[in-house]
Structure 1
């Protein structure tokens, strides 16, 4: 409960900037005394700065909080997509898991229900989620750390990819624009993602419906066979038709497709 409350306080401060102690108490449903104790913990950790009867996110801490906020956005849809992706896994194969927040949900599901796999990733949090999991052999790419996404990118990571081959790639996305192309917010991330696609026999884009119709700066790839898409029930009919016309395999994951046990497992992960 305390960890959940601290997380809620961090997210509230990240989304709204400076907040008074009363604002935070109302937002998380706790007493003023409890909020003061929580703020002391967060201040000791260097996450927040307190002043004038309130608090704000400390300079330099917003990167971690930003990832946490993104991870929790559309969480039910991401978990449904992860469950659909899990059903595609083939035991004894080699897979690559991108550093996206939806792919992280797949990694957490794989931790709860492991199978014999050789796993490669450029995501620090994904590698951490799969530590000490029986049946899994996990390798992390080397290279430059991109703090904003807790990911490894750059020439060294791309050179390592050139020496590898994967049966399956599970790729996240910052945006899928109206030109039916996948885009990233970072040039190095986009370049690495594009390289992943050349090193995999099959690839699935894990993108919740909120990512469609948006655009960011750096092109990753056009959606076209053999790249497939797993999204959620919120995916507009126009996009479903367009992807079908392109010939890209599409899986629409119903929220009910994530069984109760898997939901509970992921919540505890």
Structure 2
């Protein structure tokens, strides 16, 4: 692993939770001496705070949220492969929920030819894709429009979700950390995802390799139940290991 990739991975792990040198060494597959050198350098650059035997994140550290156009262009091939694999989990007669985000919008494209599938979504990109699909019954979750993601959220969306249930929920996120859950830019996004998880018989998280272990926003949705991570085979074992170590998580790489 290159030093720059290692530093990025360290920051994502530290931002998810306080951690020590031994844990970082095991997660990254490098020596403890290498981890100590990396932590010293990152502390000098004011990316984290060194503690006795480990490190903790600087309070308030986060990155600006990417625009919709940036997200559409990022990891497009990975997202399409992940979406295609996710579509294989949808059966005739299913009621499925598509979360906001570009990967779930890609999943909508792979559902257009399905028959007798009910799609519930707050994702306007998915709505535009599925609007004229003859075999799809489509329910749009109302609420406040979040233009940066073209999705709805807020009290009306939460109320709608409290009145329905779905067979399968397909979730997106800014980042996903095995021990912590889904990372989001706003508290409303994080809470809406929590509402979705409560109303689904099965939960699938769709995340490209760059989102694994990514903890660059400040709002979190815990997933305290069994769920499936669908990600790209481009994810390395260091990124996948924390997910494989959690009994409640099934990891599917495509």
Q: Calculate the TM-score normalised by the size of structure 2.
A: 0.70
Q: Secondary structure at the match of 2:81?
A: helix
Distance 2:213 2:240 in 1: 12
Distance 2:177 2:135 in 1: 38
Residues 130 and 138 in structure 1, CA contact (< 8 A), matched pair in contact too:
yes
Residues 212 and 240 in structure 2, CA contact (< 8 A), matched pair in contact too:
no
Q: 1:236: how far off?
A: 2.1
Distance 2:80 2:126 in 1: 15
Q: Which residue of 2 aligns with 1:152?
A: 152
Q: 1:137: how far off?
A: 0.4
Q: Which residue of 1 aligns with 2:14?
A: none
Q: Deviations over 1:209-240 (max 9, x none)?
A: 10112211110124x54111000012220232
Answer yes or no: is 1:220 the counterpart of 2:240: no
Aligned length: 187
Q: Deviations over 1:98-127 (max 9, x none)?
A: 01111111001212x323201100011111
Answer yes or no: is 1:84 the counterpart of 2:85: yes
Q: Which residue of 2 aligns with 1:131?
A: 131
Q: 1:179: how far off?
A: 4.1
Residues 182 and 190 in structure 2, CA contact (< 8 A), matched pair in contact too:
no
Q: Which residue of 2 aligns with 1:244?
A: 244
Distance 1:194 1:102 in 2: 19
Answer yes or no: is 1:175 the counterpart of 2:194: no
Q: 1:208: how far off?
A: 0.4
Within-5 A mapping of 1:1-269: 66-111=67-112, 113-177=113-177, 179-215=179-215, 216-222=217-223, 225-247=225-247, 248-253=249-254
Residues 92 and 114 in structure 2, CA contact (< 8 A), matched pair in contact too:
no
Distance 1:221 1:209 in 2: 20
Q: Secondary structure at the match of 1:148?
A: coil
- In terms of Rg, which structure is larger? 1
Q: 1:95: how far off?
A: 0.4
Q: Secondary structure at the match of 1:102?
A: helix
Q: Deviations over 1:55-94 (max 9, x none)?
A: xxxxxxxxxx921221121011001101110111111110
Residues 78 and 232 in structure 2, CA contact (< 8 A), matched pair in contact too:
yes
Q: Which runs of 5 or more residues in structure 2 are unaligned? A: 1-65
Distance 1:198 1:177 in 2: 19
Distance 2:131 2:86 in 1: 20
Q: 1:149: how far off?
A: 0.8
Q: 1:178: how far off?
A: 6.8
Residues 176 and 212 in structure 1, CA contact (< 8 A), matched pair in contact too:
yes
Distance 1:184 1:176 in 2: 9
CA-atom RMSD, angstroms?
1.5
Q: Which runs of 5 or more residues in structure 1 are unaligned? A: 1-64, 254-269
Q: Which residue of 2 aligns with 1:47?
A: none
Distance 1:168 1:78 in 2: 19
